[in-house]
């Protein structure tokens, strides 16, 4: 998990001064912006350093390597989403369908934000094989798992006070992100009415399944 102490330290574990912390934040902001653009340019720490106006050595001091950079980006995005702060999540009520709709709508919204696009670009740029991904990007893989776990905990929170089959709830927790990424891929190819209909159909099906 991300801690304030980690944000105050370089990759080597040395304490960052105010300028160092500002440089670190600038690099994270630039990295998120580069990922959000999804320009097709390969994921490159050199590009991030160049656009942030710092040397590769500075980026290496801050994050160690590209694995450390992408992991830090994911931790930053998890923090921005409030995923590590359940106390900021909204109070929930209403029918099962109402709650499922809130979950689906929240993910639909975030997938089209710069932060959401950054995560999806990063997901798409990592090795597809789990063994290769864990070998080449162990820190990023762990941070991605933390990001996705924050979504799972949020979904669980939305349904926690209802008497539902826990196995079905766990299945729905994993289904929603996968299904929403699929619908999101159609965002610029299908009409708003078609996209809305697909989301409502998904919500109706999940609500019936849970009931």
Residue 91 sits at φ, ψ, to 5 deg, of: -70, 140
Say what the pLDDT of residue 42 is: 63
Residue 10 sits at φ, ψ, to 5 deg, of: -80, 175
Q: If you compute the radius of gyration of the chain from its CA atoms, what whole number of angstroms results?
A: 19
Domain with CATH 1.10.10 in the chain: 4-71
Say what the pLDDT of residue 40 is: 56
Residue 169: CB atoms within 10 A of its CB come to 16
* Contact yes or no for 28/76 (Cβ under 8 A): yes
The tokens of 2 are what? 């991300």
pTM of the prediction? Answer: 0.84
Question: Residues in the chain with pLDDT < 50?
Answer: 1, 3
Q: For the structural domain made of 4-71, what CATH number should be given?
A: 1.10.10
């Amino acid at each position: 998990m991300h801690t304030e102490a980690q944000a105050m330290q370089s990759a080597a574990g040395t304490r960052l001064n105010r300028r160092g912390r500002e440089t670190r934040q600038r690099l994270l902001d630039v990295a998120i912006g580069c990922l959000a653009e999804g320009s097709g340019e390969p994921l490159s720490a050199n590009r991030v350093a160049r656009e942030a106006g710092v040397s590769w050595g500075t980026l290496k001091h801050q994050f160690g390597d590209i694995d450390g950079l992408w992991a830090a980006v994911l931790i930053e995005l998890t923090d921005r989403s409030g995923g590590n702060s359940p106390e900021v999540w909204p109070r929930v009520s209403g029918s099962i369908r109402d709650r499922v709709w809130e979950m689906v709508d929240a993910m639909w919204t975030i997938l089209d934000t710069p932060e959401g696009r950054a995560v999806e670009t990063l997901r798409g740029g990592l090795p597809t094989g789990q063994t290769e991904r864990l070998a080449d990007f162990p820190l990023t893989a762990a941070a991605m798992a933390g990001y996705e776990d924050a979504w799972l905990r949020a979904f669980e929170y939305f349904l926690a006070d209802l008497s539902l089959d826990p196995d079905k709830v766990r299945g729905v927790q994993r289904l929603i992100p996968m299904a929403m990424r699929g619908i999101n891929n159609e965002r610029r190819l299908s009409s708003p009415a078609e996209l809305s209909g697909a989301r409502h159909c998904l919500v109706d099906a999940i609500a019936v399944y849970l009931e």
